[in-house]
Structure 1
């Protein structure tokens, strides 16, 4: 089975890529806005500035394994709530 659904690029986006990266061909735009933003334990590289979560240094959503990480954390979070 193909895993093409785990990767998307929007090269025409005026912000592409929105982070400085060495290899633009591997930059994943699928989670342009991270689905884990509201999780306190997202396991990403974030800081708080004036009480606001700053994820600008986090590359998890844009990485090759980003899809697996994000979906895994969503599943875990939903299971933990039961």
Structure 2
């Protein structure tokens, strides 16, 4: 069975790559906007908080690494909990 659904590279996007990389062929655009952002400090990525308290993910490649599909999917129950608490 193919696993093509785990990787998408969109080189014709005007923002490609949205993070500097020396491996553009391995840059995964599948999670263009990181679904883990809402997890705050528990996302597992390389982020920092600015002086104004804004989460800055500009140095994070977690959602763009072609080997991290399973990790991101494994966090969806945590995202569901956050969403259900906000209702």
TM-score band by shorter chain is: 0.7 to 0.9
Residue aligning to 2:2: 2
- Structure 1: state its 5+ residue gaps: none
Question: By how many angstroms is 1:2 displaced?
Answer: 1.0
Shift in Å, 1:78? 5.9
Q: Which contiguous aligned blocks of 4+ residues in structure 1 show a shift greater than 4 angstroms?
A: 78-81
Q: CA deviation at 1:66?
A: 2.2
What is the number of residues matched between the two proteins? 80
Q: Secondary structure at the match of 1:9?
A: coil
Give 5+ residue unaligned stretches, structure 2: 83-87
Structure 1 length normalisation: TM-score? 0.86
TM-score under structure 2 normalisation? 0.82
8 Å CA contact 2:36–2:79 kept in 1: the answer is no
* Partner residue in 1 for 2:22: 22
Higher helix share: 2
